[in-house]
Amino acid sequence: MNSSVILSYTTFVYGMAAFLYIFAFIFKKDFPGKVATWVAAVGLAGNIAGFFLRWIESYQLGFGRIPLSNLYESLVFFAICIAIVYLVIEQKYKNRVMGAFTFPLAFLALAYASLSPNISDRILPLVPALKSNWLIVHVITCFIGYAAFTIAFGVSIMFILRQRPESEHGLLARLPRPKILDELTYRLVLFGFLFLTIGILSGAVWANSAWGRYWGWDPKETWSLITWFVYATLIHARMMRDWSGKRVAWLSIVGFGAMMFTYFGVNLLPGLHSYAATG
């Protein structure tokens, strides 16, 4: 069984976990939520196993590289990061309701990699620009940041729903209190911002070694900076102007939109990072 098969199976495990989280939330059942946590953990184990098996397969093919160099591999790693961040948050806050709004995002990331006909799972050699030890630092730190922003997006959606007048009764009353969601959004953004900053700085060093300049206003670089500024604005507004509540939640959602365009949208534009759309 190769890595692609394992990851395809893992996609359905993640889908089952997402379904159980949503089922537990809608029907107000605790047991499906507990099962969802275990299914999510099994899915994460399969996700990690598939990632490392693909790494081994690259050595067997003579390429000897970490599987982080194309869209398929980045989505696989992105799903790992989302699942880990979510499960840590669930364990810390002892609240599985959040899984209904956040864990489906891990499923969607892996499903897009495994099921999209436009994404190839072939293992290819690295292009010259990617042959650098900075690859590991740059990609891993960026995707840890992306995962934190993704969970913050889900929590922000929960906050907006929880702020509705009718949320004191019925289904939405099961969501954590707005104050908890507001604080969690901010902490996740802080965590993600730290790793995104490290990712951008390591990317600049990598760009200098690969292309002879630290910054070239490539579309990926430009949108990474835009994303960085959106989240920097959120942090500044929170710290210096005491912003909270809906304003922070909406800034988090805007930041997630910028992040997703940085990840996917720039692949449609010509530039030095266009390789991410292939392979």
What is the per-residue pLDDT for 279? 41
pLDDT band at 269 (very low <50, low <70, confident <90, very high): low
What is the mean predicted confidence (pLDDT) over 212-224?
A: 86
What's the chain's Rg over C-alpha atoms? 19
Structure tokens at 264: 């996917």
Find the mean pLDDT for residues 146-166.
95
Q: How confident is the model at residue 114 (pLDDT cuts 50, 70, 90)?
A: very high
Q: Which residue has the higher pLDDT, 89 or 216?
A: 89
Closest by CA to 89, choosing from 20, 183, 230, 26, is 183
Token code pair at residue 83: 């699942």
Mean per-residue pLDDT, 176-202: 96
Tell me which residue of 98, 126, 128 sits closest to 25, measured CA to CA: 98
Residue type at position 278: T
What is residue 169's predicted lDDT score, i.e. its pLDDT?
81
- Which stretches of the chain are assigned E, i.e. beta strand? none
3-state secondary structure of 163: coil
Q: Is the pLDDT reported for residue 271 higher than 60?
A: no
pLDDT score at 180 = 95
Structure pTM?
Answer: 0.94
Spans of all domains in the chain: 1-122, 127-279
pLDDT mean over 79-88: 98
